[in-house]
Structure 1
Amino acid sequence: LGKCQVKEFREHLIFFFQAQYFTQQEIEEYRQCFTLYCPKGCAQNASHLRYIMRCLGYTPTIPETIQYFHKYGQKLNFPSFLEILNQENQKIDPVQEITGAFRGIDPKKQGWITVPEIISILSSVGEKMSRDEIYNVLQQLDIIGGRVPFNSLLNLISNFRTDYTYFRDDNNRYDIYK
């Protein structure tokens, strides 16, 4: 495809997404953020992608953004970025996901989980949390007799806000962490 054909195809793809998945206002907001942080028109790496997504209020995990970056190529452009945002929008609501998980660990329907069970889950499942991170979570929960009611966990999850900072690691790579 020639340069003009590529540009035309890209615009058609954007309009397709606009009609199918996003409002015109959302597309414009995403485009402004993407062009602000990607002046060359492409996200440069998974960390860069994660930063842009978090600026828009998304909370992708490190493995997810690495997977997206591998799936869409080393130079991730705006149409690909829209596809990723659409995939993120298709995810299950975290509160619904956690509620479903509670059903699996509470077959007797008691409505609570023990503190040791929470510690075990947070330190071994998914993105494993450090002792300090687990301690901070426990400090925010209503613990009654060594048990945490599920509604306390749901309240914590549904009221979660990210506060990310920008740093450079030992290998001179950029990333964002809480």
Structure 2
Amino acid sequence: MSPKTKEQNEEIRQKTAAAIKEAALELFGKFGYHSTSISQISKAAGVSKGLMYSYFDSKQDLLYNIMLEAMEEGEHLLNGALASSEDPYEQLVQIVEMSIKWVTENLHHWKLLTSLAFQMDVLKGFEELMQEKQGNAMVQAVSLFERLGVEEPLEEAMVFGAMLDGMMLQYMQMEENYPLEKMKQHILKKIKPKQQS
């Protein structure tokens, strides 16, 4: 058997890190962050505790990586929507479409991530990073509503975010019983500029 190439080793490393993160997220969502041990995570991921520490320094570091990855996925989604068109309304449409696709295709994952946000003290230490990422997204959203010519772009951007978050939370709770397409159309109608209506 020939030795593995550098690329093969890196692929194995990435798969192992992903398995650890997914196992941790599953356990954090099921038992709570504070009640989940490193031993439980390593067992669920199918790796030794020692090997797990070669990937993540601590449970806090593991959580940080999970949250950072989710925020980076969000940034990637936003950048993709902004690159899809020059028209601000079409960019907002893409944000809605991509958000729905993102959550519906990874529903279990997003339910677990959302459950973390409601666990007391879990996100301590992440506030600064989260505020920075959310602030950047808000600046982009406000810019889109400014370009649409609305009177209160900050408020419109905040309402847009609240509608999108609310729709996704309700979908997570109700799944196929939630009228997702109907609510998507309702949001798009609400944000459509008057001259385009």
- Normalised TM-score (structure 1): 0.29
Structure with greater strand percent: 1
